[in-house]
Amino acid sequence: MKKAQFTMNDIDGEFDGYTCGNTWNSFACPFFTNEQAVHMLEALDYQTFSFTWSYDSDRNVFIVCDDGNITEYSAIKRDGMTLWSIGAYEWVWDIL
């Protein structure tokens, strides 16, 4: 895993995360630590009207509701870190 910064169209801000180099339709597939995920999701929640999220600590899952679509992101272990691939293979992420 390599540290990287990510951004999305129409969203203000750059978000720290990690990449293993995977892409989806030429878009980046980021991984985030818990702290990074919370920061990114709070920023998205603030900037959009149809976006909500929560974290279920019992299941170690981030739950995202975007335009009525609910997606759960489970934690994975990579390179000794616990990471979540929030929006990977779904959202239009760009790597800086």
Give residue 49's pLDDT.
64
Residues in the chain with pLDDT < 50?
none
Q: pLDDT value at position 51?
A: 82
The HSE-up count of residue 22 (CA atoms within 13 Å, CB side) is 12
pLDDT at 13 (0 to 100):
87
End-to-end alpha carbon distance in the chain: 15
